[in-house]
Structure 1
Amino acid sequence: MKITRVETIPYSIPYTRSLHFAVGSVAEAEHVLLRIHTDEGLVGTADVPPRPYTYGETQESIVSIVRRIFAPILTGRDPFEREFIHKGMERTVGNNATKGAIDVALWDLMGQSLGVSCHRLLGGYTDSMRVSHMVGIGTPETMLEDALRVHEEYGITAVKLKVGRSSIDEDVAAVGAVREGLGPDFEIGLDANHGWTANQAIEAMERMSGLGLTVLEEPCPASEVLGRRRIVAQSRIPVISDESTPTPGDAARELLAGACSAINIKITRTGFTQSARLVGLCEGLGVDVLIGNQIDTQLGTLASVTFGAAFESTSRRAGELSNFLDMSDDLLADPIRIVEGRIYVRDVPGTGLLIDEDKLEKYRQDGQR
């Protein structure tokens, strides 16, 4: 089996509600659908979410880097030659989401070729993932309303609240209101998206120490080296590194420096191959891992469930798997269902990322309708 071409299709789908966080907001899924075609007629599929405020990638840069740099590396190769392909892509710095999507599409092709699901190829530990919902910055009332909505409609019992406002008073008030409204048994974690300073993070966590919080993600910029160490040293809950550890090398550096005590794995950033290496690294060092969300569509979410349910360590905690609920539509032909707070894997060859071609034609932005 040989790769014949790599296709990139930019598309845009509006959200029914915007997600607000410390470094920006998202009102539309302006993503890129990536397809790797082969001479045997098999097609590997993945979704690429541009996040210019996090990784510097845009729709335009993704399409360009694939066509000019990565497609020549892939064309003519066997999809099973992942190490050769990854070595070729490593010569180009950055472009994490693009590289991650290419890796997922390669695994999709391998699974289809073997007639085996990627979930089983990766490890097949369990058949589902518990869901955590990411709640954007808002008033205490709107944040509680969002958490109650997903609990009542989908049985979700875990949330991660976006914080990191310039006024920690507002964050403390919002988190307190959500805890009071949800009761003591609901899991609540926080993500500041490095919006606080180290001193603000320490003060905020002291003031919220009685709220039963489970995790704190990216409390301040990773560049505040001593500040991050102080936060980790004083924290009673795992301090998660996310955007500051986009590669296994970054994760090793931050963990060994004492700048975090857990790692957020995002499939849309590290694909399946690098994510598996992150799992091994964290298991070896004895730190927790969390399956995160890059404000994913159902395509990205299904890839995350495929990976997260494949390993024991990634299935311990609820994964951030539900923000597609705020999208007005999606490209996935068979929509994801959340049943009693869980999403189940699909036992089909590859990843099961089958596209509704009519919807793709409706939302694509490359003028080729």
Structure 2
Amino acid sequence: MKITAVEAIPFAIPYRKPLRFASGEVHTAEHVLIRVRTEDGVVGIAEAPPRPFTYGETQDSIKAVIDKLFTPELLGLHLLEREVIHGVLGRTVGNPTAKAAVDMAMWDALGRTLGFPVTLLLGGFTDRMRVSHMLGFAEPAAAVAEAERMRDLYGIATFKVKVGRHPYTLDVKVCRALRDALGDAVELYVDGNRGWTASESVQALRAMEDLGLTLAEELCPADDVLGRRWLVSRSPIPVVADESVPTPATVTRELLSGAANAISIKTARTGFTYSQRVHHLCEGVGVEVVMGNQIDGQIGSMCTVAFGAAYRLTSQRAGELSNFLDMTDDLLTEPLEIRDGTLPVRQGAGIGVDVDEDKLTRYRQDT
């Protein structure tokens, strides 16, 4: 089970429509496919989605750090030498999605070698997750139309609403229109992507108290230290840390400082190994978690559901697993299917998905 090669292959697949939010917008999935090969002929895969407006990574930087810094140090290491491997990755500052993808590809290779699903190796709590769909910036009527389409076609009954623009003239109106149109049968929560101030956040939450929102994610900037504590002390619902918690250490900081009282786990930035550590920390101190989405493709979405379904805590809430539906295509031989509002874990070895080589040839950017 020793590593013989690590490949970083950039690819690009357009979205049918851009996803817009307070910190940026995405028109094309310009991601990086990671493949870890072992001496046994096994190939593990994962997906790295660069988000320069969040973590400073680009498609080029992910490929460069893997090719030039990580791979030379990983060759010859055993898949089970996780502490050694993360010691190697940890010598380089930042680069969270590059590190996470290498980690998940190694877990996939381990599962394929042993003949077990990764979700079973992690914990095996359940075989599926309920799905939450992210609604990007839109006028009220357009947001309602998209939510109704997702509900009617896929049975999705949980929606994360992107806010962070003008809280009173736009964001509150969108949330109110969604509640009026969809009724109490759906769950709504909001994500500001750091777009509001702390005072705007409190006023907006008060204006929406009658809407039954369940969570408020990253409403104001991560470096607004006193404002975030003030917001949490006044919020009627849990305040979720997301971009502010890229490592287990920052999760500890935000929770102990009172700047958040719930956590978003994203396998795209903490892989499986560090997501485990975040999960165990949250479970130990008794805070809620939500499985977040880095606007992943289908490979990344399957990694999220594999991890989320592995534990009771991460499977309690709907996971953000559906934004691949807005992509014009994907790389898998067997595309994912959301039915009755759930996405099942694949029962095959590893994460249970394989790359269609013809599609990879069509969309890769390095040939």
TM-score normalized by the length of structure 2 = 0.99
Give distance in 2, aligned partners of 1:211 and 1:275.
Answer: 32
* Match of residue 259 from structure 1: 259
Alignment check: 8 A CA contact 1:291 1:319 kept: yes
Partner Cα distance (1:152, 1:192) in 2: 26
CA contact (8 A) 2:239 2:262 kept: yes
Q: Secondary structure at the match of 2:80?
A: coil
Q: Corresponding residue for 1:363?
A: 363
Q: Please tell me whether the aligned partners of residues 167 and 204 of structure 2 are also in contact (alpha carbons under 8 angstroms).
A: no
Give the Cα separation in 2 of the matches to 1:71 and 1:167: 46
Q: Who is 2:153 aligned against? A: 153
Match of 2:3 in 1: 3
2-side partners of 1:86 and 1:360: how far apart?
28
Match of 1:25 in 2: 25
1:159 touches 1:189 (CA, 8 Å); kept in 2?
yes
Deviation (angstroms), 1:167: 4.7
Aligned to 2:142: 142
Aligned to 2:169: 169
Looking at structure 1, the residues matched to 169 and 249 of structure 2 have their Cα atoms a distance apart, in angstroms, of 36
Tell me what 1:115 maps to: 115
Matched, 1:290 2:290: yes
For residue 272 of structure 1, what is the aligned residue in structure 2? Answer: 272
- Checking the alignment, whether the CA contact within 8 Å between 2:265 and 2:290 is kept in structure 1 is yes
Shift in Å at residue 184 of structure 1?
Answer: 1.3
Distance in 2 (CA, whole Å) between partners of 1:168 and 1:358 is 48
Work out the CA distance in 2 between the residues paired with 1:168 and 1:363.
Answer: 42
Aligned-partner Cα distance in 1 for 2:252–2:361: 42
SS of alignment partner, residue 50 of structure 1: coil
Cα deviation, residue 27, structure 1: 0.7
Aligned residue pair count:
367
Kept after mapping to 1: 8 A contact 2:8/2:33: yes
Deviation per residue, 1:134-188 (Å, 9 max, x gap): 0001100111111111000000000000000045321111111111011012100
- Alignment partner of 2:210: what SS? coil
- Tell me the CA shift for residue 226 of structure 1: 1.2
Matched residue SS, 2:112: helix
CA contact (8 A) 2:159 2:188 kept: yes
Q: Which residue of the partner structure matches residue 316 of structure 2?
A: 316
Q: Distance in 2 between matches of 1:168 and 1:41?
A: 57
What is the aligned partner in structure 2 of residue 211 from structure 1?
A: 211
Partner secondary structure for residue 210 of structure 1: helix
Query: What letter matches 1:24 in structure 2?
Result: G
Match of 2:134, as an amino acid?
Answer: M
Would the aligned equivalents of 2:116 and 2:349 in 1 still touch at CA under 8 Å? yes
Preserved contact between residue 187 and residue 213 of structure 1 (Cα < 8 Å):
yes
Provide the residue aligned with 2:12 in structure 1.
12
Match of 1:232 in 2: 232
> 2:350 corresponds to which residue?
350
Q: Letter of the aligned partner of 1:236 in structure 2?
A: P
Deviations 1:201-236 (A, max 9, x none): 011001011000010000100211111111111112
Alpha-carbon distance in 2 for matches of 1:180, 1:145: 13
> Is it true that 1:42 corresponds to 2:52 in the alignment?
no
Q: Distance in 2 between matches of 1:163 and 1:331?
A: 31
Alpha-carbon offset, residue 353 of structure 1: 2.8
CA distance in 1, matches of 2:38, 2:286: 40
What amino acid is aligned across from residue 67 of structure 2 in structure 1? R
Q: Partners in 2 of 1:105 and 1:54 — Cα distance?
A: 23
* Residue matched to 1:56: 56
Structure 1 vs Structure 2 CA RMSD:
0.8
1:166–1:195 Cα contact (<8 Å) kept: no
Code of the aligned partner of 1:315: S
| Amino acid in the other structure paired with 2:326 | D
Counterpart contact for 2:305–2:343, Cα < 8 Å = yes
The offset of 1:352, in angstroms, is 1.5
**Alpha-carbon offset, residue 346 of structure 1:** 1.1
- State whether structure 2 residue 67 is matched by structure 1 residue 67: yes
Cα pair 2:264 2:290 within 8 Å, conserved: yes
Deviations 1:51-96, CA, capped at 9 Å, x for gaps: 0000000010011000110001211111111110001111111000
Any conservation in 2 of the 1:82–1:106 contact (CA below 8 Å)? no
What is the distance in 1 between the residues matched to 2:167 and 2:225? 22
* Mapped contact 1:168–1:200 kept (Cα < 8 A): no
Aligned residue for 2:209, secondary structure, equals: coil
Q: TM-score w.r.t. structure 1 length?
A: 0.98
Counterpart residue type for residue 50 of structure 1? P
CA contact 1:46–1:353 (8 Å) conserved in 2: no
Contact 2:346 2:353 (C-alpha < 8 Å) held by counterparts: no
- Where 1:19 maps in the other structure, the secondary structure is strand
Q: Residue 196 of structure 1 corresponds to which residue in structure 2?
A: 196
SS of match in other structure, 2:333? coil
**d(CA) in 1 for partners of 2:49, 2:353:** 15
User: Retained in 1: the 8 A contact 2:251–2:263?
Assistant: yes
- Tell me how far apart the structure 2 counterparts of residues 5 and 209 of structure 1 sit (CA, whole Å): 53
Give the whole-Å Cα distance in 1 for the aligned partners of 2:283 and 2:71.
Answer: 34
Contact 2:164 2:192 in 1 (8 A): yes
Q: Tell me if the contact between 2:222 and 2:243 (Cα under 8 Å) persists in the aligned partners.
A: no
Residue 264 of structure 1 aligns with an amino acid whose one-letter code is: S
The residue that corresponds to 1:182 in the other structure is 182
